[in-house]
Amino acid sequence: MAKVVITTSMFPEAVERLRAAGHAVAVHDGPLAPDARRSLAADALICPLSDRVDAELLEAAPTLRVVANLGVGVDNIDLAAATARRILVTNTPDVLTEATADLGWALLLAAARRIVEADQDLRRHGFPGWTFIPPHLGVDVYGRTLGVVGFGRIGQAMARRDKGFAMEVLCFSRTRRPEAEGALGVRHTSLDELLRESDFVVLCVPLTRETHHLIGERELALMKSTAILVNIARGPVVDERALVRALNAGRLRAAGLDVFEEEPRVHPDLIGMPNVVLTPHIGSATEATRRKMAELAVDGVLDVLAGRRPKHLVNPEAWPGKRNRKRGHGVESCGGGTG
């Protein structure tokens, strides 16, 4: 019997699948307490992307074989430390792509049409009476230019949704995707060109050393003062203080932000800005999507505990044929593993 620790509230059906396979499951409603972090007795950890899975935690978990991250982004996990200890890391790509792109568009439209501001004013002050030039004049979306930074799964899903809006779509990405670019009628440009030409810029890159502060003071200055920035990637992809300065100075029209540089902290200036739409990192938060993510995480854990290679393995270097080696701290015990 293996021990699975889950550090977030979880759908009972997902927990039941682990128990039905004969595993002991402990569900915590939040991140591990400091004591538990110092000594984690678990074969598998299922955690949300808000948990920090660092070298210290991995070191304190001598029996750990797999970390299943409830999210596609794995910047919360020290992958090098996991790989060094032959701990497999899995994530939940694909199933959340469409929900996250929907949220990206929701932020884009809400910021363009000042929906949250108008809603709040109506609730506070009542319906103001119809006026030809109302206080909440927005900007057109139809026929404008959308710039997608990071043309992967979610970036392409953002681009696919432009069709009803007859937009010109530009993209900037590390690896060119000529087929997808052609099929979607998207033009690949440099980042600078994209920023200069786009009316809406949406960020869809993972957080890595290269993408940290990809959008800083210089990049914001390249954008049109009438442009809107949407961040559904990770907070630190944007230099938040530079963004606040640009918004305060009117060098950017508005922003739609689902992610923040120091979550759960939100820069206080952003809270006070009516031209910023804020959501608390809910890109993939639909019931159907979260259920699929839970199932994927459980699939991966069941696979590893049964010695099978999980489908969404983030660190394949930790897998093949090397599973009975001694680790730096204790001997790996991959029950049932065929390697």
* Residue 237 binding ligand GLV, by CB under 6 A: no
Nearer to ligand GLV, 73 or 147 (CB): 73
Residue of 281, 290, 312, 332 marked catalytic: 281
Among 142, 175, 179, 271, binds ligand NAP (CB under 6 A): 175
| Site for ligand NAP contains 93 (CB under 6 A) | yes
Q: Which of the choices ligand GLV, ligand NAP, none does residue 49 contact, using the CB cut-off of 5 to 8 A by kind?
A: ligand GLV
Note whether 310 binds ligand NAP by CB under 6 A: no
Q: Which of 259, 293, 296, 297 binds ligand NAP (CB under 6 A)?
A: 259
**Is 325 one of the catalytic residues?**
no
Given the residues 65, 86, 234, 267, the one annotated as active site: 234
3-state per-residue secondary structure call for 244-289: HHHHHCCCCCEEEECCCCECCECCHHHHCCCCEEECCCCCCCCHHH
Of 211, 284, 289, 315, the residue at the interface with ligand GLV (CB under 6 A) is 284
35 binds, among ligand NAP, ligand GLV, none (CB under 5 to 8 A by kind): none
Q: Applying CB under 6 A, which of residues 206, 216, 307, 337 lies at the interface with ligand NAP? A: 206
Report yes or no: 134 and 128 within 8 Å, Cβ to Cβ: yes
Under the criterion CB under 6 A, does residue 73 sit at the interface with ligand GLV? yes
Q: Does 154 bind ligand NAP (CB under 6 A)?
A: yes
- Identified binder of ligand GLV from the candidate list 48, 71, 104, 236, rule CB under 6 A: 71
Is residue 283 a contact point for ligand GLV (CB under 6 A)? yes
Footprint of ligand NAP on 217-246 (CB under 6 A): 232-234
Distance CA 180, CA 183 (A): 5
Q: Which is nearer to ligand NAP, 154 or 228 (CB)?
A: 154
Q: Does 211 bind ligand NAP (CB under 6 A)?
A: yes
Catalytic residue among 59, 168, 193, 263: 263
- State which of positions 131-150 bind ligand NAP (CB under 6 A): 150
230 binds ligand GLV (CB under 6 A): no
Q: Is 234 a catalytic residue?
A: yes
Task: Give the dihedral of Cα atoms 272, 275, 281, 285; nearest 10 deg.
Answer: 130
Contact pattern from residue 48 through residue 87 relative to ligand NAP, giving x for each residue in contact according to CB under 6 A and a dash for the rest: ------------------------xx--------------
Interface residues with ligand NAP (CB under 6 A) are 72-73, 93, 96-97, 100, 150-155, 173-175, 204-208, 210-211, 232-234, 258-259, 281, 283-284
Question: Which residues participate in catalysis according to the annotation?
Answer: 234, 263, 281
